[in-house]
Amino acid sequence: MAECPGLREASAAGSISVEDMRAAEINSVWLGLDLDLLMENAGRAVADAIECVLGGLEGVSVTILAGKGGNGGDGITAARHLAERGAKVEVHLSHPPELITHGSTRRNLKVLLASGYAKLVKPWSRGWGDTSGADVVVDALLGIGVRGSLREPILSLARAFTSHQGLRVSIDTPTGVDPDTGYVAEGAVVADVTVTLYKVKKGLLQGKAPMHTGRLLVAPIGIPRQASELAGPGDAYARIPVRPRDAHKGMGGRVLVIGGSRDFVGAPILAALGAAAGGADLVYLASTGMIPYWGAQRSSTIIPVPLDGDYLNPSHVDKLLRHSERVHAVVVGPGLGSRDETLEAARILVERLAESGRVTVVDADALRAVAGLEGLGPHIVLTPHRGEASRLLGDEAVEPRLAASRISRLTGATVLLKGPRDYICTEDTCRVNVTGAPSMSVGGTGDVLAGVVAGFAARRVALGRGHGMPHTAAAAAYIVGRAGELAASAVGENISAQDVVENIGRALAEARSLAEG
């Protein structure tokens, strides 16, 4: 097969999920790229691939089957590039133009109509779905966000595509093939060539999917490396699920916060408030004295779990493990103190929670208890600041990114190292968060972050999406940092941890607004 300049043959190395793609796309917009530019690049890449496979486009007849979403917009943009290179192009829409709500798709359709480059065929009109006169037919019907069985009018166009006798090209993923799992729906199209955008979607290499993709080419579309390295609003949008329309209590996840002591009262309450602000439906606050009840007074989401005595000790462990079985994520550490019996209890808890597979955020004083532990797993999240990171490394002074990576390799855990820049690392990857304000150096913001990590993870686990580390932790770091920026903008330099909590909802709404245009 001829090599196609600018395109590469797909391989499993570097394959990504739909979440990864969505996050990178929105982070690109946050970094200053325009979705219209990404669509322009996608359309050009599809035209390049067809020209390469055929050896030229002059006089070639192309029929593009275009859906109403972003994938349809890629096809509509490809139509213009194909026509400019001498092809005769028809675009068959799956839906009337007035039902196209995707902004970039609508704008590119307007440009195509104004140019007169292509004939537009509306649904169910004369000749609609007839590909018999085409040399090439292009599947731009459904993008990566649409799963499940095919319905009309998509089904009719998918059948027309697969029955075509000429070259069949799918954009990004063949319609009807799940880009995450490789599941093939009834009526899924069968392509000769699939031009997948940015990076290959992992599902296209699994199960029966390769029988439907044909030759699989990967096309860069201008998404920068930083879009996947930096934590951004795309992570909050793509990684943190919204509640479904039929949601009931508990579907947003449940969190257990274990912290506090006679000496430190506020830290566990702030962690619990962070978990609630992160979207957890129920937050159990396990602590000594009146702390659980004071927390419950701050939010109706918080349920008190009283522990006897003044400090956490090993006699509490069994009760806490029983409570952990009813939640999706646990926070251990805020305000516990460093008494020997407390650290012993914290160590036992973390070991047992690691064995159970429960998502556990280990923060503050509990970090002392995990020194020397190995093989914890990425579902255990350690959240040290630089001083705590140094202690975990035996007081070795190391550059922050390297420190986070090294701690992860030593423990097997996900590490969120807090600082002016946050580094979120597993044993084989690192993300960076650059949001935040100097005024966030006040006490309590780290406790809020620990709670938000747990709240986000609980939402994912409750809806069956897995913990998603390190990306879930990266999303939390971005949102808490952005909430701090919003708080500082509103009240000035002297903000409190409570100000950060109160702006988490605004930061989440801002991320979703950016993603939805």
pLDDT digits (tens, 9 = 90+) for 79-117: 999 999 999 999 999 999 999 989 999 999 999 999 888
Do 175 and 203 lie in one domain? The reply is: yes
Q: Express as a percent the part of the chain with pLDDT over 90.
A: 88
Residue where one domain finishes, among candidates 226, 241, 263 = 226
136 belongs to a structural domain: yes
How many beta carbons lie within 10 A of that of residue 152, not counting itself?
A: 10
Instruction: Using the predicted structure, report yes or no on whether residue 253 has a pLDDT greater than 80.
Output: yes
More confident residue, 398 or 38: 38
Q: In this predicted structure, what is the pLDDT of residue 395?
A: 76
Q: In this predicted structure, what is the pLDDT of residue 403?
A: 95
More confident residue, 248 or 340: 340
Query: Taking residues 303-314, what's their average pLDDT?
Result: 97
| Dihedral angle computed from the Cα positions of residues 247, 249, 253 and 254, in that order, rounded to the nearest 10 degrees | 180
1 belongs to a structural domain: no
Kindly report the CATH number assigned to the domain that includes residue 18. 3.40.50.10260
Do residues 421 and 432 touch, judged by C-beta distance below 8 A? yes
What total of structural domains would you count in the chain? 2
3-state secondary structure of 257: strand
Q: In this predicted structure, what is the pLDDT of residue 454?
A: 98
Do 455 and 423 lie in one domain? The reply is: yes
149 belongs to a structural domain: yes
What residues pair up with 282 in beta bridges, in sequence order? Answer: 254
Instruction: Using the predicted structure, report yes or no on whether residue 127 has a pLDDT greater than 90.
Output: yes
Instruction: Using the predicted structure, report yes or no on whether residue 1 has a pLDDT greater than 60.
Output: no
Residue 195: closest CA among 69, 61, 41? 41
475 belongs to a structural domain: yes
- Rounded distance between C-alpha atoms, residue 324 and residue 377, angstroms: 17
- Rounded distance between C-alpha atoms, residue 289 and residue 469, angstroms: 34
Do 366 and 426 lie in one domain? The reply is: yes
Kindly report the CATH number assigned to the domain that includes residue 364. 3.40.1190.20
Q: In this predicted structure, what is the pLDDT of residue 517?
A: 61
Indicate the average pLDDT of the chain: 94
pLDDT digits (tens, 9 = 90+) for 346-365: 999 999 999 999 999 999 99
CA 212 to chain centre: 26
Do 243 and 354 lie in one domain? The reply is: yes
Tokens 């201008």 identify what position? 222
Q: Express as a percent the part of the chain with pLDDT over 70.
A: 98
2 belongs to a structural domain: no
Do 85 and 176 lie in one domain? The reply is: yes
Q: In this predicted structure, what is the pLDDT of residue 309?
A: 95
Q: In this predicted structure, what is the pLDDT of residue 111?
A: 93
Query: Taking residues 377-384, what's their average pLDDT?
Result: 98
Q: Could you give the strand order of the β-sheet that contains 414-417, starting from the edge strand earlier in sequence?
A: 302-307, 282-288, 254-258, 329-332, 359-362, 380-382, 414-417, 422-425, 430-433
Query: Taking residues 406-418, what's their average pLDDT?
Result: 97
Do 157 and 269 lie in one domain? The reply is: no
Residue 502: closest CA among 277, 272, 270, 275? 277
Do 187 and 249 lie in one domain? The reply is: no
Q: Please list, in sequence order, all residues whose beta carbon lies within 8 angstroms of the beta carbon of residue 173, skipping any fewer than 6 positions away.
A: 142, 143, 144, 179, 194, 196, 201, 203, 204, 213
Instruction: Using the predicted structure, report yes or no on whether residue 401 has a pLDDT greater than 70.
Output: yes
Do residues 271 and 449 touch, judged by C-beta distance below 8 A? no
Instruction: Using the predicted structure, report yes or no on whether residue 34 has a pLDDT greater than 80.
Output: yes
- Rounded distance between C-alpha atoms, residue 254 and residue 454, angstroms: 9
Q: CA angle, corner 453, sides to 450 and 455, nearest 5?
A: 105
Do 203 and 270 lie in one domain? The reply is: no
3-state secondary structure of 422: strand
Q: Which amino acid belongs to residue 386?
A: R
Do 194 and 219 lie in one domain? The reply is: yes
What residues pair up with 432 in beta bridges, in sequence order? Answer: 230, 423
Q: What's this model's pTM, rounded to 2 decimal places?
A: 0.93
Q: In this predicted structure, what is the pLDDT of residue 505?
A: 95
Residue where one domain finishes, among candidates 191, 226, 261 = 226
- Rounded distance between C-alpha atoms, residue 73 and residue 79, angstroms: 10
46 belongs to a structural domain: yes
Q: What is the residue range of 201's domain?
A: 8-226
Confidence of residue 242 (pLDDT cuts 50, 70, 90): confident
30 belongs to a structural domain: yes
Confidence of residue 248 (pLDDT cuts 50, 70, 90): low
More confident residue, 242 or 179: 179
Residue where one domain finishes, among candidates 226, 250, 267 = 226
Query: Taking residues 379-401, what's their average pLDDT?
Result: 91
Q: Please list, in sequence order, all residues whose beta carbon lies within 8 angstroms of the beta carbon of residue 431, skipping any fewer than 6 positions away.
A: 229, 230, 231, 423, 424, 425, 470, 471, 473, 474
Confidence of residue 432 (pLDDT cuts 50, 70, 90): very high
Tokens 């702390």 identify what position? 291
pLDDT digits (tens, 9 = 90+) for 181-217: 999 999 999 999 999 999 999 999 999 999 999 999 9
pLDDT digits (tens, 9 = 90+) for 135-169: 999 999 998 877 778 999 999 999 999 999 999 99
- Rounded distance between C-alpha atoms, residue 119 and residue 425, angstroms: 51
Do 164 and 277 lie in one domain? The reply is: no
Query: Taking residues 36-43, what's their average pLDDT?
Result: 95
Query: Taking residues 379-407, what's their average pLDDT?
Result: 92
3 belongs to a structural domain: no
Instruction: Using the predicted structure, report yes or no on whether residue 246 has a pLDDT greater than 70.
Output: no
Q: In this predicted structure, what is the pLDDT of residue 515?
A: 76
- Rounded distance between C-alpha atoms, residue 455 and residue 275, angstroms: 4
pLDDT digits (tens, 9 = 90+) for 472-486: 999 999 999 999 999
Do 35 and 155 lie in one domain? The reply is: yes
Do 242 and 389 lie in one domain? The reply is: yes
